[in-house]
Amino acid sequence: MWPKNEKQNQLLEKSQKIAKYISPTSLKHDRDGSFPHEHFQFMREVGYLAAAVPESYGGPGYGLTDILLAQFEIGTGDGSTALAVGMHHMVVGAEAIARKWPDTIRKRVFSEVVSRGALINNIASEPDLGSPQGGGRPSTTLIPKGEGEWDLEGRKTWSTLAPELTYAITFAAVEDGTGDTARVLQRMDAKGVSVEETWDSMSMRSTGSHDIIYKAVRVRDEDFLFRSKHKSSNSDPIGGSAWFPLMTSAANLGVANAARNYAINFAMNRKPTGASGPISKIPHVRDQIGRMESKLIISKRALFSFSEDWENYPESQPELLREIGTIKTKSIDSAIEITDLAMKVVGGVGLEKSRPLERYFRDVRSGLFNPPIEGRALEQLASEILD
């Protein structure tokens, strides 16, 4: 049962406070497709944005499971906010383990996250490239402009947190004849960087996943996090591999939990004219609620227990790696099934825009398209078994 220690409990209480704060304004931001700046300012003020920064860098040093528990609570308050801040935690948490950036950059970024709540995200997708997991070479380019200097040119899509980002870790092709690709740390307030508000999705409408445009943005050698040959084998430490898919899972299960809460409250208080009691007494409704609860229990236990194993048994991570895609895809499947069941309990009024249930119904479907998608997760399992 969670939380399992006082440190987890402290973060859980903080996340519940955040969820309570952000929930009342989540509907308006969803309707407007606007970015919830005040949500992030509140998280900044209570210190949540620094959660994954190690103690050695001045942060609280929360681990993956600790933050997943918090993300579940924040997702219950607002899925878009949870999904977006999870991208930031993923970058910080994974780098805290991998230690792949230059030491000076890691120290500077982590220090800014702690001292002023700086936000960071990986920015890689493009209109033609799609996700870089497909293996394509980016159209965004780094063009040599003299000794140790480059011009960054291109357009990035699905750039979550774009309106609030301090840093964008940008995936680009190095156009110096080497065929390399690189990740560069780009400040969002630099000359030539702009955000075009293109995000108009059915789901998670408040993540600020707009396009980022780079026009002759000056980059220096010291801004390179790393560069490599295109399609070269990944030599990254695997310790950080679980952060992105599990953060996505926690946020979406949090949304499903909000749908569950709404449906139960509705069933216990909805008493149609002429009925002898609330609809919670109807056998069919009780059956749907039982199904909903059982799916949520199993999904939470799978997610949090896997995360604990991942953290507690690092020597087993090569074997556990194959399970990450399954945990993620099944978490999303369960989130969708739970919201569908909640809709059945509430009935047709659940489709009304004035109620939050239709938003929950939409939001959990976004998780289908966050990596790893089901096809790649299944292929990884099949490859382990058959090849």
Contacts 24+ apart (CB under 8 A), 380-383: 380/322, 380/325, 381/322, 381/325, 381/326
Q: Are residues 20 and 143 in the same domain?
A: no
- Give the CATH number, domain containing residue 283: 1.20.140.10
Residue 269 maps to a domain: yes
DSSP labels, 94-141:
HHHHH--S-HHHHHHHHHHHHHH---EEEE--BTTTB-GGG-PPPS-E
CA–CA separation, 347 and 351 (whole Å): 8
Q: Supply the pLDDT for residue 128.
A: 86
17 and 106 assigned to the same domain: yes
256 CB-near residues (< 8 Å, 6+ apart): 296, 299, 334, 335, 336, 338, 339, 360, 364
CA angle 196, 201, 203 (to 5 degrees): 135
Q: Tens digit of pLDDT for each residue in 363-381?
A: 999 999 999 999 999 998 9
288 within 8 A of 341, measured Cβ to Cβ: yes
| Domain count across the chain | 3
pLDDT of residue 233: 45
Query: Which residue, 229, 260, 280, sits at the end of a domain?
Result: 229
Based on the domain organization, do 297 and 337 belong to the same domain? yes
199 lies in the same domain as 327: no
**Residue 330's domain spans which residues?**
238-386
The answer to whether residues 356 and 325 belong to one domain is yes
Query: 11, 46 in Cβ contact below 8 A?
Result: no
Q: Is residue 1 part of a domain?
A: no
Would you say the pTM of this structure is higher than 0.85? yes
pLDDT of residue 56: 98
Task: Pick the last residue of a domain from 195, 229, 263.
Answer: 229
pLDDT at 134: 66
**Rounded distance between C-alpha atoms, residue 17 and residue 29, angstroms:** 19
**Residues 220 and 181 reside in one and the same domain:** yes
In a shared domain, residues 80 and 206 = no
Same domain, 159 and 216: yes
Q: Which of 243, 258, 295, 304 is nearest to 85 (CA)?
A: 243
Where is the domain boundary, 229, 260, 293?
229
List the CATH number of the domain containing 75.
1.10.540.10
The stretches in the chain having pLDDT less than 50 are: 233-234
Q: What pLDDT sits at residue 234? A: 47
Q: What CATH code is carried by the domain that includes residue 144? A: 2.40.110.10
Residues 282, 172 share a domain? no
Same domain membership, residue 257 and residue 167: no
**pLDDT for position 237:** 67
Q: What is the pLDDT of residue 230?
A: 62
Say if 273 falls within a structural domain. yes
Q: Is residue 368, in this structure, part of any structural domain at all? A: yes
**Where do runs of H (alpha helix) occur along 313-353?**
317-346
Is 242 domain-assigned? yes
245 and 344 housed in the same domain = yes
245 plus 379 within the same structural domain = yes
Residue 132's pLDDT is what? 72
Torsion-angle region of residue 179: left (phi > 0), alpha (psi -120 to 50) or beta? Answer: left
- Cβ burial, residue 320 (10 Å; 0-12/13-18/19+): middle
Residue 272 placed within a domain = yes
Nearest Cα to 68, choosing from 268, 310, 234? 310
Q: How far apart are CA 12 and CA 10, in angstroms?
A: 5
